[in-house]
Amino acid sequence: MTHPTTTQALHDLGVAELASALRGRKVSAVEAAQHFLARGKAHQSLGAFVAFNEEATLAQARTADARLAAGTAGALEGVPIAHKDIFVTRDFPSTAGSKMLAGYQSPFDATVVRKLAEAGAVTLGKLNCDEFAMGSSNENSAVAPVGFDAPAPVRNPWDTSRIPGGSSGGSAVAVAARLAPAVTGTDTGGSIRQPASFCGITGIKPTYGRASRYGMVAFASSLDQAGPMARSAEDCALLLSAMCGPDPDRDSTSLDVPAENFSAQLNDSIDGLRIGIPAEFFGEGLAPDVRTAVDAALKEYEKLGAKLVPISLPRTELSIPVYYIIAPAEASSNLSRFDGVKFGHRAEKYTDLVDMYKKTRAEGFGDEVKRRIMIGAYVLSHGYYDAYYLQAQKIRRMIADDFQNAFKSCDIIAGPVAPTVAWKLGEHGNDPLADYLADIFTLPGSLAGLPGMSVPAGFGEGGMPVGLQLIGNYFQEARLLNAAHRLQQATDFHLRQPGGL
């Protein structure tokens, strides 16, 4: 690697390269932080950031420089990162993209934020997202991005007339536009993998329970999972190693599985790796340009010695109705805490307590959030619980069983992340079902709690990025990252960047 001699080249470095430059004292943590803060402000028209706190960022950077000088640096010491605004942070406002939490400042950091800080990462700011992480396009944010007077959608840097994907759209754009070397995201039904695919970056959702949910504003508790987004699998491995680990005192869904060094097996051979190709992921509805890119990536795997094995995930289509029963049901329960009593938005004028509840929630929640709360309350109501919610849970178990049957004949599963490339802003208009249907390939893995990732695999219509989805069995993140890394050593899609930046 050629180390940067000026800060001009800093944003072209990945996490591993930047960490190496910082350890080699080629650049200071303060210089890196200042460079990325300036870059974030210069490209604020993309709408990626919703909050900066320059004073807090530079204080963290100075502490990182002191540790680097003392030789007590962590693995990510001085590396600037940014957090999806679904994680609560002590030094930055935490809104979850909602008017309901406007102005909220948390007294503590989310476990994932704390763990990354302990590894030495410096927080640049908070990133835009769909309200309460509900959305596939990042058009549902109710918070004004930095530099804007009113809420605005995040724009895809490859084509600013298109969506970046959601709900972690701000996170994906920050990495794709080189506003941060790496970021955090959350994935409930595909919200790391889909925006990573649409923006041409790498993102991984670990096994459910691998990363603590403490301090993550809850959407659907049995599905939400934190994960890293960066340019390469190598960078994601570094972040994931820091993020994971048990947190039993704070998160009851946290698994008692020790943190791993996910970088250790990156360069292992994948000769003989059995890659399962589900027939259901390559049927009607998959755009030809996406299929062409995915097929080309699979051919690269064959060149590297992997074997493609046909498999079936017969209940793939059922994942959409199952997810859109279970996730809203959990959301309706989780969002009942936002009532205007203890924190968050409260209506100014009301006659009694019930009136305050009604007006606060009517004012504070956006349309998509209200839609999911109402669906959730309906499927949990007396007389419908057995017909909808209970049935959905049974089919969820069957979907998980389908994966276990598939893994008897393959090591990992590969296919498209989404049926199309990123669509135009406003294209789905008032048709939420169009957004829901776009999640068909990411939902099955989420319902099963499996690790999954998106790896840049080429470009489709309009020169827009296409991602290859890799799904592993439980706790097989290292195998996924190894497979992704080997593909990235053979291709350069992850190195390409949008023009004009």
Please identify every residue annotated as catalytic.
84, 167, 191
Q: Rounded to whole angstroms, how far apart are CA atoms 180 and 368?
A: 29
Q: Are 140 and 170 in contact (CB under 8 A)?
A: no
> How many other CB atoms are there within 10 angstroms of residue 391's CB atom?
15
Cβ burial 450-484 (10 Å sphere, 16+ → b, else e): bbbbbbbbbbbeeebbbbbbbbbbbbbbbbbbbbb
> Using alpha carbons only, what angle is made at residue 314 by residues 313 and 318, rounded to the nearest 5 degrees?
105
Helix (H, G, I), strand (E, B) or coil at 308: strand
> How many other CB atoms are there within 10 angstroms of residue 182's CB atom?
28
For every residue of 452-466, DSSP letters joined together read EEEEEEEE-GGG-EE
Distance, first Cα to last Cα, the chain: 22
Helix (H, G, I), strand (E, B) or coil at 169: helix
Those residues with Cβ within 8 angstroms of residue 96's Cβ, 6 or more apart along the chain or in another chain = 85, 86, 129, 131, 132, 133, 217
Q: Rounded to whole angstroms, how far apart are CA atoms 189 and 254?
A: 18
H/E stretch holding 277 = strand 274-278
**Nearest CA to 401 among 344, 463, 444, 340?**
444
Cβ burial 341-357 (10 Å sphere, 16+ → b, else e): eeebbbbeeeeeeeebb
Q: How many Å is the maximal CA-CA distance in the chain? A: 70
DSSP state, residue 12: G
